[in-house]
């Protein structure tokens, strides 16, 4: 039950009832930020060139701040999904309040392009970042032809709406993961889960009943990330913003 302006509103049903959420040991996160460290080590000149491009700059900030994946934060939210028909977005509940996870929120924390706008080693780095981080694909799956085709045209690759594309993919992964939530040993989940994790952390700050001790470490890291993103946006040239 949600009270808004003195009016009691009934929330949609939850995936799991309050107190009935299953517990798991771990989530095997396919999104591998350590891949960025490996690329920098093996191909530093080309990697630095990619770093200068704003297309993935926000993700580089996440890696720079050494954000750790938190299954303790992500799994409870997945279990608290509100079953709605709204597309394309997801709703979750925290402290009995609804929290939206839509394209706008995803763009805010990842900086990935959501709308279209008008050297082989560089292409390889782009391809690795797209597959291993932005899309968080399992390292055992084949690279899609679409990604290889885009990598052959850097202008098209840089203008491609990766935010919209990876967000849609992440929503599908949330749907696919529902039947895995009760697997006590853990489960594999693809997609850029750091985007989901950071947004959920930020959303809980405004709720007075948040358990600050439980989320203190992760929210502190997320704050550093948001500060870096703000400083980047403030110092960027107008045409880059």
Report the percentage of the chain scoring pLDDT > 90.
38
Q: Smallest Cα–Cα separation from 211: which of 95, 100, 92? A: 95
134 burial (CB, 10 Å; 0-12 / 13-18 / 19+) is buried
Tell me the two tokens of residue 105.
């929120």
- How far apart, in whole angstroms, are the C-alpha atoms of residue 63 and residue 67? 6
The position carrying tokens 């203008």 is: 159
**pLDDT tens digit sequence for 159-189:** 899 999 999 999 999 999 999 999 999 999 9
Specify whether the CB–CB gap between 115 and 161 falls below 8 A.
yes
* Whether pLDDT at 150 is above 50: yes
Task: Name residue, tokens 């929210």.
Answer: 219
At 104 the pLDDT is 92
In the structure encoding, which two tokens stand for residue 185, read together? 């040993």
**What is the structure's pLDDT at 145?**
81
In this prediction, residues 108-123 reach a mean pLDDT of: 79
- In this structure, how many other beta carbons lie within 10 angstroms of the beta carbon of residue 44? 11
């Amino acid at each position: 039950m949600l009270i808004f302006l003195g009016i009691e509103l009934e929330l949609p049903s939850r995936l799991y009832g309050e107190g009935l959420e299953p517990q798991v040991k771990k989530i095997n996160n396919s999104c591998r930020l350590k891949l960025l460290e490996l690329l920098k080590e093996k191909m530093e000149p080309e990697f630095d060139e990619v770093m200068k491009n704003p297309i993935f700059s926000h993700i580089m900030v996440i890696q720079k701040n050494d954000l750790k994946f938190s299954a303790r934060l992500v799994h409870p939210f997945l279990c608290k999904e509100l079953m709605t028909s709204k597309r394309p977005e997801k709703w979750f509940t925290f402290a009995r309040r609804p929290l939206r996870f839509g394209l706008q929120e995803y763009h805010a924390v990842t900086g990935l392009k959501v709308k279209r706008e008008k050297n082989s080693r560089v292409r390889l780095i782009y391809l690795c970042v797209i597959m291993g981080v932005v899309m968080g694909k399992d390292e055992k799956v084949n690279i899609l032809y679409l990604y290889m085709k885009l990598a052959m045209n850097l202008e098209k690759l840089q203008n491609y709406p990766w935010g919209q594309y990876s967000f849609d993919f992440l929503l599908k992964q949330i749907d696919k993961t529902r039947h895995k939530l009760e697997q006590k040993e853990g489960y594999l989940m693809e997609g850029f889960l750091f985007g989901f994790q950071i947004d959920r952390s930020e959303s809980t700050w405004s709720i007075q009943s948040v358990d600050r001790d439980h989320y203190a470490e992760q929210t502190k890291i997320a704050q550093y990330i948001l500060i870096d993103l703000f400083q980047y946006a403030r110092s960027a040239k107008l045409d880059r913003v």
